[in-house]
Amino acid sequence: MIKRLAIIGVGLIGGSLALALKKAGKVGEVVGYSRTKSVREQALSLGIIDRAADNIADAVKDADIIFLAVPMGAMSSVLSDVVPHINTDTIITDGGSAKAQVVEQARQVLADKFSQFVPGHPIAGTEKSGPSAAFAELYQGHRVVLTPVAETNTDALEKVRTMWQSAGAEVFDMAVDQHDVVLAATSHLPHVLAFNLVGMLAQREDCNDVLRYAAGGFKDFSRIASGDPVMWRDICFSNKEAILGLLEQYHQGLNQIEQAIREQDGDSLISVFERAKQARDTRFSE
């Protein structure tokens, strides 16, 4: 049972955690803060939070757990605003999509309170955002990755684990670097690829025809190009090295396919497609 939970950033991710814990009866009071006044008022009126705070100091005061659900680019400054107001046993955790940068920022900003920080990443979401997109079942059956480091307080880690389990998630621990490369491969790179495809087609003069004849496969593909541009900019910068490394590999793979098409090298093309199909059919399908 969490007596007081502070949610900084009451959108889809933060709001859904609050709703899930309330529904499970695992939280006493939820205090919420968002930079935009109308957003925190909306979260209040939707019953996501019990009290809307006017500033971060007020929001985190006497909280047992503080959940930072803000864009990656805002994480460092929010940590700075939070740190003067926490107690010695307050736990801070986050929902950022890349962990190395957040962990470094927390180490610097929190200094001797760094052990109270539990880096986390709920792997769930929709293309929608804001308090109105939040729902109690978002994390049900989804995975949450925690990436504790040597300094992380074990008791804090277990409390954050229990919190996510109460929200219906399966919780796994991973090393920071492993998390970042796995997420780059399965989420960040695919989003970049989809943004690039849809953006390229949008610039064509025959865009309307392209649209009219787009079949199901393309629609699935393009759906992920609907993510929030600011959030994805932040993710790209936060997980820069892993994403750039994979992009390099991706270019090389495309070059091989291009060459095979140009030279009518059917065997090479089939072996590339076959490898993908086998992996997809045997490993990626559920």
Total residues binding its own copies (CB under 8 A): 90
Kindly tell me which of 104 and 151 has the beta carbon lying closer to its own copies: 104
CB 16 within 8 A of CB 64: no
Of residues 97-136, which lie at the interface with its own copies (CB under 8 A)? Answer: 123-125
Is 3 a residue that touches its own copies (CB under 8 A)?
A: no
Is 279 a residue that touches its own copies (CB under 8 A)?
A: yes
Is 77 a residue that touches its own copies (CB under 8 A)?
A: no
> In angstroms, what is the minimal distance from the CB of 8 to its own copies?
22
Of residues 158-197, which lie at the interface with its own copies (CB under 8 A)? Answer: 174, 178, 181-183, 185-187, 189-197
> In angstroms, what is the minimal distance from the CB of 133 to its own copies?
14
Kindly tell me which of 4 and 191 has the beta carbon lying closer to its own copies: 191
DSSP 159-184: HHHHHHHHTT-EEEE--HHHHHHHHI
Kindly tell me which of 149 and 174 has the beta carbon lying closer to its own copies: 174
Helical ranges in the chain per DSSP H: 12-23, 37-45, 56-60, 75-82, 100-110, 154-166, 176-183, 189-202, 207-213, 216-223, 229-238, 240-262, 266-279
Alpha-carbon distance of 65 to 173, in angstroms, equals 19
Of residues 239-278, which lie at the interface with its own copies (CB under 8 A)? Answer: 240, 243-244, 246-247, 249-251, 253-254, 257-258, 260-262, 264, 266, 269-270, 272-278
Selected binder of its own copies within 79, 160, 163, 225 (CB under 8 A): 225
CB 106 within 8 A of CB 119: yes
From residue 218, give the alpha-carbon distance in Å to each of 72, 194, 224.
29, 10, 11
Is 141 a residue that touches its own copies (CB under 8 A)?
A: no
> In angstroms, what is the minimal distance from the CB of 195 to its own copies?
4
Is 286 a residue that touches its own copies (CB under 8 A)?
A: yes
Burial category of 93 from C-beta neighbours within 10 Å (exposed 0-12, middle 13-18, buried 19 and up): buried
